[in-house]
Amino acid sequence: MKWFEMAGARRVRALVIGGVPLLWLAAALPGAAHAYTVKDMTGREVTVAAPPRRIVSLVPSVTEILFTIGGQDRLAGVTDFCDFPPEARRKPRVGSMLAPSLEAIVALRPDLVVATTAGNRQETFDQLARLGIPVYVVNPSRLAEVLELMTRLAALTGRSEAAEPVVAALRGRIQAVRTRVTPLPRPRVLYVLWPEPLIVPGRSALITELITVAGGESVTADGGEAYPRYSVEAALARAPEVILLARHGTPSSRISREQWARFRTLPAIRAGRFHDVDGNLLHRYGPRVVDGLERLARLIHPEAFGQAR
Protein backbone atom coordinates (compact mmCIF):
# COMPACT_ATOMS: atom_id res chain seq x y z
CA MET A 1 0.00 0.00 0.00
CA LYS A 2 1.37 3.43 -0.94
CA TRP A 3 0.35 4.88 2.43
CA PHE A 4 3.15 3.03 4.09
CA GLU A 5 5.99 3.01 1.56
CA MET A 6 9.21 3.75 3.36
CA ALA A 7 11.07 6.86 2.22
CA GLY A 8 14.85 6.96 1.89
CA ALA A 9 17.05 9.04 4.15
CA ARG A 10 17.73 11.55 1.37
CA ARG A 11 14.04 12.41 1.14
CA VAL A 12 13.84 12.94 4.88
CA ARG A 13 16.32 15.84 4.70
CA ALA A 14 13.88 17.92 2.72
CA LEU A 15 11.09 17.74 5.31
CA VAL A 16 10.63 19.91 8.36
CA ILE A 17 8.02 19.73 11.12
CA GLY A 18 7.55 22.80 13.29
CA GLY A 19 10.97 24.09 12.28
CA VAL A 20 12.76 20.87 13.38
CA PRO A 21 14.47 18.92 10.56
CA LEU A 22 13.07 15.40 10.32
CA LEU A 23 16.58 14.05 9.73
CA TRP A 24 17.50 15.18 13.24
CA LEU A 25 14.30 13.69 14.64
CA ALA A 26 14.90 10.39 12.90
CA ALA A 27 18.37 10.24 14.41
CA ALA A 28 16.75 10.18 17.84
CA LEU A 29 14.96 6.92 17.09
CA PRO A 30 16.29 3.62 18.48
CA GLY A 31 18.04 1.21 16.16
CA ALA A 32 16.78 -2.20 15.11
CA ALA A 33 19.73 -4.36 16.03
CA HIS A 34 17.68 -7.54 16.38
CA ALA A 35 14.95 -6.73 13.88
CA TYR A 36 12.49 -9.20 12.47
CA THR A 37 9.61 -8.90 10.03
CA VAL A 38 5.92 -9.47 10.73
CA LYS A 39 2.76 -8.88 8.73
CA ASP A 40 0.16 -6.47 10.04
CA MET A 41 -3.61 -6.84 9.56
CA THR A 42 -3.48 -5.30 6.09
CA GLY A 43 -0.90 -7.86 4.96
CA ARG A 44 1.97 -5.35 4.93
CA GLU A 45 5.38 -6.50 6.06
CA VAL A 46 6.64 -4.48 9.03
CA THR A 47 10.15 -4.70 10.43
CA VAL A 48 10.23 -4.25 14.20
CA ALA A 49 12.54 -4.81 17.14
CA ALA A 50 12.27 -8.28 18.68
CA PRO A 51 9.94 -7.73 20.44
CA PRO A 52 9.24 -3.98 20.42
CA ARG A 53 9.71 -2.53 23.90
CA ARG A 54 8.41 0.98 23.24
CA ILE A 55 5.04 1.16 21.49
CA VAL A 56 3.00 4.26 20.72
CA SER A 57 -0.68 3.39 20.35
CA LEU A 58 -2.79 5.65 18.14
CA VAL A 59 -5.80 3.37 18.73
CA PRO A 60 -7.85 3.33 21.97
CA SER A 61 -8.82 -0.30 21.37
CA VAL A 62 -5.18 -1.31 21.09
CA THR A 63 -4.39 0.51 24.31
CA GLU A 64 -7.17 -1.41 26.09
CA ILE A 65 -5.94 -4.72 24.70
CA LEU A 66 -2.36 -4.14 25.83
CA PHE A 67 -3.54 -3.35 29.35
CA THR A 68 -5.79 -6.43 29.33
CA ILE A 69 -2.98 -8.82 28.41
CA GLY A 70 -0.47 -7.21 30.76
CA GLY A 71 1.52 -5.45 28.06
CA GLN A 72 1.04 -1.94 29.38
CA ASP A 73 4.73 -1.58 30.27
CA ARG A 74 5.44 -1.61 26.53
CA LEU A 75 3.19 1.44 26.00
CA ALA A 76 5.43 4.46 25.64
CA GLY A 77 2.60 6.77 24.56
CA VAL A 78 -1.11 6.94 23.72
CA THR A 79 -3.63 9.35 22.22
CA ASP A 80 -5.92 11.73 24.07
CA PHE A 81 -8.77 9.29 23.36
CA CYS A 82 -7.08 6.38 25.15
CA ASP A 83 -9.09 6.67 28.37
CA PHE A 84 -9.64 3.06 29.42
CA PRO A 85 -8.63 1.58 31.72
CA PRO A 86 -8.18 4.72 33.87
CA GLU A 87 -4.47 3.92 34.20
CA ALA A 88 -4.10 4.59 30.47
CA ARG A 89 -4.65 8.28 31.13
CA ARG A 90 -1.35 8.41 32.99
CA LYS A 91 0.63 7.40 29.91
CA PRO A 92 2.40 10.14 27.91
CA ARG A 93 0.07 11.71 25.34
CA VAL A 94 0.75 12.33 21.67
CA GLY A 95 -2.46 14.21 20.81
CA SER A 96 -5.53 13.20 18.87
CA MET A 97 -6.03 10.26 16.57
CA LEU A 98 -6.60 12.49 13.55
CA ALA A 99 -3.62 14.75 14.09
CA PRO A 100 -1.09 13.30 16.54
CA SER A 101 2.06 15.27 17.24
CA LEU A 102 4.96 13.87 15.25
CA GLU A 103 7.41 15.61 17.57
CA ALA A 104 5.79 13.99 20.60
CA ILE A 105 5.91 10.56 18.97
CA VAL A 106 9.58 10.87 18.05
CA ALA A 107 10.46 12.17 21.53
CA LEU A 108 9.11 8.90 22.98
CA ARG A 109 11.64 6.91 20.91
CA PRO A 110 9.15 4.22 19.79
CA ASP A 111 10.17 0.89 18.34
CA LEU A 112 6.69 0.68 16.82
CA VAL A 113 3.56 2.76 16.27
CA VAL A 114 0.23 0.93 16.11
CA ALA A 115 -2.35 2.71 13.96
CA THR A 116 -5.69 1.99 12.28
CA THR A 117 -7.21 2.62 8.88
CA ALA A 118 -10.39 3.69 10.72
CA GLY A 119 -9.51 6.85 12.63
CA ASN A 120 -5.95 7.73 11.62
CA ARG A 121 -5.18 9.75 8.51
CA GLN A 122 -3.09 8.85 5.48
CA GLU A 123 -1.00 11.96 6.16
CA THR A 124 0.03 10.53 9.54
CA PHE A 125 1.07 7.23 7.94
CA ASP A 126 3.09 9.06 5.30
CA GLN A 127 4.88 11.21 7.87
CA LEU A 128 5.77 8.24 10.07
CA ALA A 129 7.04 6.35 7.03
CA ARG A 130 9.29 9.25 6.05
CA LEU A 131 10.66 9.28 9.58
CA GLY A 132 11.47 5.61 9.32
CA ILE A 133 9.20 4.70 12.25
CA PRO A 134 7.64 1.24 11.77
CA VAL A 135 3.84 1.33 11.68
CA TYR A 136 1.73 -1.73 12.43
CA VAL A 137 -1.79 -1.25 11.04
CA VAL A 138 -4.90 -2.85 12.51
CA ASN A 139 -8.38 -2.91 11.00
CA PRO A 140 -10.64 -5.59 12.55
CA SER A 141 -14.24 -5.52 11.35
CA ARG A 142 -15.39 -8.91 12.66
CA LEU A 143 -15.45 -10.51 16.10
CA ALA A 144 -13.01 -13.18 14.99
CA GLU A 145 -10.63 -10.44 13.87
CA VAL A 146 -10.91 -8.71 17.26
CA LEU A 147 -9.70 -11.92 18.92
CA GLU A 148 -7.04 -12.29 16.22
CA LEU A 149 -5.82 -8.75 16.99
CA MET A 150 -5.43 -9.64 20.65
CA THR A 151 -3.36 -12.68 19.68
CA ARG A 152 -1.23 -10.63 17.29
CA LEU A 153 -0.51 -7.92 19.86
CA ALA A 154 0.32 -10.58 22.44
CA ALA A 155 2.85 -12.11 20.07
CA LEU A 156 4.38 -8.69 19.33
CA THR A 157 4.82 -7.92 23.03
CA GLY A 158 5.82 -11.36 24.28
CA ARG A 159 2.52 -11.81 26.14
CA SER A 160 1.10 -14.81 24.25
CA GLU A 161 0.95 -17.05 27.29
CA ALA A 162 -0.93 -14.43 29.30
CA ALA A 163 -3.30 -13.65 26.40
CA GLU A 164 -4.38 -17.24 25.68
CA PRO A 165 -6.79 -17.61 28.63
CA VAL A 166 -8.15 -14.10 28.05
CA VAL A 167 -8.93 -14.84 24.40
CA ALA A 168 -10.37 -18.26 25.30
CA ALA A 169 -12.69 -16.72 27.89
CA LEU A 170 -13.93 -14.09 25.44
CA ARG A 171 -14.52 -16.74 22.78
CA GLY A 172 -16.51 -18.80 25.29
CA ARG A 173 -18.71 -15.82 26.20
CA ILE A 174 -19.40 -15.12 22.52
CA GLN A 175 -20.40 -18.74 21.95
CA ALA A 176 -22.64 -18.67 25.03
CA VAL A 177 -24.58 -15.76 23.52
CA ARG A 178 -24.90 -17.53 20.18
CA THR A 179 -26.16 -20.69 21.83
CA ARG A 180 -28.80 -18.89 23.86
CA VAL A 181 -30.27 -16.82 21.01
CA THR A 182 -30.10 -19.35 18.18
CA PRO A 183 -33.58 -20.87 18.68
CA LEU A 184 -35.27 -17.47 19.16
CA PRO A 185 -36.98 -15.22 16.60
CA ARG A 186 -34.87 -12.36 15.27
CA PRO A 187 -36.43 -8.92 15.88
CA ARG A 188 -35.67 -6.06 13.50
CA VAL A 189 -33.13 -3.70 15.12
CA LEU A 190 -32.33 -0.10 14.25
CA TYR A 191 -28.99 1.03 15.65
CA VAL A 192 -28.47 4.80 15.57
CA LEU A 193 -24.77 5.61 15.61
CA TRP A 194 -25.39 9.34 15.14
CA PRO A 195 -28.72 11.18 14.93
CA GLU A 196 -28.23 14.10 12.51
CA PRO A 197 -27.31 13.25 9.87
CA LEU A 198 -28.52 9.75 10.57
CA ILE A 199 -25.50 7.42 10.55
CA VAL A 200 -26.02 3.68 10.97
CA PRO A 201 -24.02 0.46 10.75
CA GLY A 202 -23.86 -0.93 7.22
CA ARG A 203 -23.04 -4.34 5.82
CA SER A 204 -19.37 -4.46 6.83
CA ALA A 205 -19.62 -2.83 10.27
CA LEU A 206 -18.64 -4.72 13.40
CA ILE A 207 -21.88 -3.53 15.05
CA THR A 208 -23.91 -5.24 12.34
CA GLU A 209 -22.27 -8.54 13.20
CA LEU A 210 -22.76 -7.90 16.93
CA ILE A 211 -26.49 -7.40 16.37
CA THR A 212 -26.65 -10.65 14.40
CA VAL A 213 -24.74 -12.63 17.02
CA ALA A 214 -26.97 -11.10 19.71
CA GLY A 215 -30.03 -12.54 17.96
CA GLY A 216 -31.30 -9.53 16.03
CA GLU A 217 -31.54 -8.43 12.42
CA SER A 218 -30.12 -5.00 11.63
CA VAL A 219 -32.52 -3.09 9.38
CA THR A 220 -29.59 -1.15 7.89
CA ALA A 221 -27.35 -4.11 7.07
CA ASP A 222 -27.85 -3.40 3.37
CA GLY A 223 -26.80 0.24 3.66
CA GLY A 224 -23.32 1.00 2.34
CA GLU A 225 -20.16 -0.65 3.58
CA ALA A 226 -19.34 0.39 7.14
CA TYR A 227 -21.17 3.40 8.58
CA PRO A 228 -23.23 5.09 5.87
CA ARG A 229 -25.68 7.95 6.12
CA TYR A 230 -29.25 6.70 6.03
CA SER A 231 -32.58 8.41 5.50
CA VAL A 232 -35.05 8.53 8.38
CA GLU A 233 -37.79 7.56 5.94
CA ALA A 234 -35.96 4.39 4.96
CA ALA A 235 -35.41 3.49 8.61
CA LEU A 236 -39.11 4.02 9.40
CA ALA A 237 -40.13 1.87 6.44
CA ARG A 238 -38.27 -1.08 8.00
CA ALA A 239 -40.57 -0.91 11.06
CA PRO A 240 -37.85 -1.64 13.65
CA GLU A 241 -38.94 -3.66 16.67
CA VAL A 242 -35.95 -2.51 18.75
CA ILE A 243 -34.23 0.89 18.56
CA LEU A 244 -30.78 1.34 20.07
CA LEU A 245 -29.22 4.79 20.43
CA ALA A 246 -25.46 5.03 20.87
CA ARG A 247 -24.16 7.27 23.65
CA HIS A 248 -20.95 9.18 22.97
CA GLY A 249 -20.62 11.31 26.10
CA THR A 250 -22.62 14.07 24.37
CA PRO A 251 -26.31 15.11 24.34
CA SER A 252 -26.76 13.15 21.09
CA SER A 253 -28.70 10.32 22.75
CA ARG A 254 -31.20 12.71 24.32
CA ILE A 255 -31.71 14.50 21.02
CA SER A 256 -32.08 11.21 19.23
CA ARG A 257 -34.62 9.92 21.74
CA GLU A 258 -36.83 12.94 21.10
CA GLN A 259 -36.48 12.44 17.36
CA TRP A 260 -37.60 8.79 17.43
CA ALA A 261 -40.10 8.85 20.31
CA ARG A 262 -42.55 10.88 18.24
CA PHE A 263 -43.01 7.99 15.80
CA ARG A 264 -45.54 6.29 18.04
CA THR A 265 -46.69 3.79 15.44
CA LEU A 266 -43.28 2.12 15.22
CA PRO A 267 -43.31 -1.34 16.80
CA ALA A 268 -40.27 -0.45 18.93
CA ILE A 269 -41.92 2.68 20.34
CA ARG A 270 -45.24 0.96 20.99
CA ALA A 271 -43.51 -1.85 22.86
CA GLY A 272 -41.17 0.44 24.78
CA ARG A 273 -38.12 -1.27 23.23
CA PHE A 274 -36.17 1.94 22.90
CA HIS A 275 -32.78 1.96 24.65
CA ASP A 276 -29.51 3.85 25.01
CA VAL A 277 -26.31 1.83 24.66
CA ASP A 278 -22.71 2.65 25.52
CA GLY A 279 -20.83 3.42 22.32
CA ASN A 280 -17.47 2.79 23.99
CA LEU A 281 -18.40 -0.88 24.40
CA LEU A 282 -19.66 -1.35 20.87
CA HIS A 283 -17.55 0.90 18.68
CA ARG A 284 -14.13 0.02 20.09
CA TYR A 285 -12.79 -3.35 19.06
CA GLY A 286 -11.09 -4.17 22.34
CA PRO A 287 -11.99 -6.86 24.89
CA ARG A 288 -14.96 -4.85 26.19
CA VAL A 289 -16.75 -5.40 22.89
CA VAL A 290 -17.90 -8.73 24.36
CA ASP A 291 -19.47 -6.82 27.26
CA GLY A 292 -21.28 -4.82 24.61
CA LEU A 293 -22.40 -7.98 22.82
CA GLU A 294 -23.88 -9.40 26.02
CA ARG A 295 -25.75 -6.17 26.72
CA LEU A 296 -27.11 -6.13 23.18
CA ALA A 297 -28.34 -9.71 23.61
CA ARG A 298 -30.14 -8.79 26.84
CA LEU A 299 -31.84 -5.83 25.14
CA ILE A 300 -32.83 -7.79 22.04
CA HIS A 301 -33.88 -10.95 23.92
CA PRO A 302 -34.79 -10.04 27.51
CA GLU A 303 -36.87 -13.22 27.63
CA ALA A 304 -33.67 -15.24 27.39
CA PHE A 305 -31.36 -13.13 29.53
CA GLY A 306 -33.59 -11.32 31.99
CA GLN A 307 -33.49 -7.56 32.46
CA ALA A 308 -30.61 -5.73 30.78
CA ARG A 309 -27.97 -4.45 33.14
The DSSP string of 222-278 is TSSSSS-B--HHHHHHT--SEEEEEE-SSTHHHHHHHHHHT-TTSHHHHTT-EEEEE
In the chain, the percentage of residues whose pLDDT exceeds 90 is 63
Which secondary structure element, helix H or strand E, spans residue 34, and what is its range?
Answer: none
Asked whether residue 21 carries a pLDDT value surpassing 90, the answer given is: no
Treating both helix axes as pointing N-terminal to C-terminal, what angle do 160-181 and 143-157 enclose, rounded to 10 degrees?
170
What does the pLDDT read at residue 54? 95
Asked whether residue 73 carries a pLDDT value surpassing 60, the answer given is: yes
The predicted model scores a pTM of: 0.84
What does the pLDDT read at residue 103? 94
In the chain, the percentage of residues whose pLDDT exceeds 70 is 85
Phi, psi (degrees; rounded to nearest 5) at 12: -60, -35
Structural domains of the chain, ranges and CATH numbers in brackets:
2-139 (3.40.50.1980), 185-305 (3.40.50.1980)
Asked whether residue 309 carries a pLDDT value surpassing 60, the answer given is: no
What does the pLDDT read at residue 12? 30
Dist CA 266 CA 240 (whole Å): 7
Q: CB atoms < 10 A from the CB of 204, how many?
A: 14
Across the range 230-243, mean pLDDT stands at 93
Dist CA 92 CA 69 (whole Å): 20
One-letter amino acid at 309 equals: R
Across the range 243-269, mean pLDDT stands at 79
Which range is least confidently modeled, 146-150, 270-274, 275-279, 303-307? 303-307
180 by Cβ neighbours in 10 Å (0-12 / 13-18 / 19+) ranks as middle
